[in-house]
Amino acid sequence: MIEDYTAGKPQDDSVKWVGLKSNEIQEKLANKDYTVSPYIVQQLLSNAGLRRRSYLKAVSAKQVPFRNEQFEKIADLKAHFLNAGLPVFSMDVKHKELLGNFFRDGSYYDFKHRLVNDHDFRSLASGIVIPHGLYDLADNFGYLSLGISKDTSEFLCDNLTYWWQDTLQWKYPSADWMLLLCDGGGSNNASHYIVKQDLYKLAQLLDINILVAHYPPYCSKWNPIEHRLFCHVHRAWEGTIFHNIQIVKERAELTRTKTGLEVKVMINQKEYATKRKVDPFFKENIQDFVTFDEQLPQWNYHFSP
């Protein structure tokens, strides 16, 4: 019945799909005098190795040279730092959240529906929240900074400074190095001089060597913070209307997992300027301030205090 409606992947015999719905198969069987329920149709499809599936976002938008080499380098760096008891932090910025009576995914128990705006226009919001995360790989602990201004490299460095001075320096009292794993764009852009200038100043302020390793372009989903922290924070936020930033903070602090993940949250109320200019002297003499990796300098470099 389904042979003429079955397609597959020529390179892989195990990949098949059917262009008919269960009720359509049921009707075709009925035309042949076979009366079966939709459940039986699903069982027959299952016995044939066919399942209901969804699309997987697994096709890279672009083939990036040295992609695999960078993943191997990151794996080696992580193993070295963790074995030595040195801190390894995965960091990134989650997408901005609007403050106001806006729709959010998730459900809740109540006697009736709650009404929210029918459009998510920025002009209707009382403000925005920029969640910057820092995930400690060794300790399975998350640190979330909620900004209200702009996502800049200065914002990133201020958040890292706060968490290091507040908590992390006491957790790693003898550490003279830290490893930062991050994407290659946004406030930690691998090609922007201003990012390197701010990270250099950060290394001087914290008096610690900072080694930065960027994930290649189009590979941000492999950054550990995405599936170790942000997905769980998102679940804690489901069904909650963000009327103010305090609600965002309180809900994020409730994030828990069976593996022991906990999250500390702070609100960063500082205003940040965009389009800041890099110091010409720093740009012209960058080799004096930044030590680049010999094999993959575009994604790996470190700053010494």
pLDDT in tens, the chain (305 residues): 777 777 766 656 666 777 778 888 888 889 989 999 988 988 888 888 777 777 777 676 678 899 999 999 999 999 999 999 999 999 999 999 999 999 988 888 889 888 999 999 999 999 999 999 999 999 999 999 999 999 999 999 999 999 999 999 999 999 999 999 999 988 999 999 999 999 999 999 999 999 999 999 988 889 999 999 999 999 999 989 999 999 999 999 999 999 999 999 999 999 999 999 999 999 999 999 999 999 999 999 999 99
The predicted pLDDT at position 13 comes to 65
Q: What is the CATH number of the domain that holds 232?
A: 3.30.420
Residues 129 and 16 in one domain: no
For the chain, the domain total comes to: 2
Residues 39 and 173 in one domain: no
Residues 22 and 122 in one domain: no
Q: Which residue is it, tokens 């680049």?
A: 292
Residue 133: strand pairing partners: 92, 144
Residues 223 and 262 in one domain: yes
Question: CB under 8 Å to 265, separation ≥6 — which residues?
Answer: 143, 144, 145, 146, 249, 252, 253
Q: How far apart are CA 35 and CA 32, in angstroms?
A: 9
Residues 221 and 260 in one domain: yes
Question: What are 224's two structure tokens?
Answer: 């550990």
**The Cα angle at residue 244 between residues 240 and 250, in degrees rounded to 5:** 60
Write out the E strands in 127-214: 127-136, 141-147, 177-182, 209-214
pTM of the model: 0.83
- What domain range includes position 84? 67-303
State whether residue 302 is helix, strand or coil: strand
Residue 93 lies in a domain: yes
